[in-house]
Amino acid sequence: MRRIVTILLLLYLSMVAISCAKQPSYDVWYGYSDRYGFMVVSVEKGKAVVVAAIPQPILGDYRRALAAQGIESDNLGAIQSLFGLEANHYLRGDAQQWSTVAEQLMLAEGLPYQGVRPSVDAIARLLVKHAGHLSKNSTIGTLGSLGGPKTDSNDIVSALKLLEKRVPLLRVYDMGRFLSKGTETGHLQWWIGKWTDQVLREAVLEIGVN
């Protein structure tokens, strides 16, 4: 009997230790353009940045499926519903606004802008590479115009300055490469939620959060 009590006590203490272990901190941004809905997660104050983009046609299908169930949503609400994390900030912009951002990024890279926006991966990497320049340059007005709910130019400047202080582990996923239109709504939400948990867990392991 005493042995059973000891084992139960050890199990209880192990569970307490696990529950008290340090949990990684996430700063979550959701946004959309004319081409994508996206999630950006800053892990442990910019030690890692995870970007995931869902093509607008897939996001539109998801919104229509929700509407058929009597659930009305906008782009930002649908994106948050799919990824499942509570957001700290939101971004939104039309084709012209994002083209202006792309042009500023290309200029910062010393390249001419030919009117064709770079890929999701390229835009993310250029934003990280030139974060310091963008946070101090007049381009912040362009980036500030993308601010949605809970977000203004100061929030964007703070995020850029944080990236300037370190070279983060950057992981970028264009989910259009492995998602297709017509995926059943409930399955899509479940799958993306599980996928999000997994990629964030991998990022945390790579940066060595204790």
Q: Does position 137 have pLDDT exceeding 90, yes or no?
A: no
Q: How far apart are CA 89 and CA 69, in angstroms?
A: 27
Is the confidence at residue 185, as pLDDT, over 80? no
* pLDDT 10s digits, 9-33: 444 444 444 444 467 899 999 999 9
Quote the longest CA-to-CA distance of the chain.
78
Closest CA to 191 of 206, 205, 178: 178
CA dist 89 and 48 (Å) reads: 17
Matching residue, tokens 């995931």:
52
Instruction: Please tell me the pTM assigned to this model.
Output: 0.85
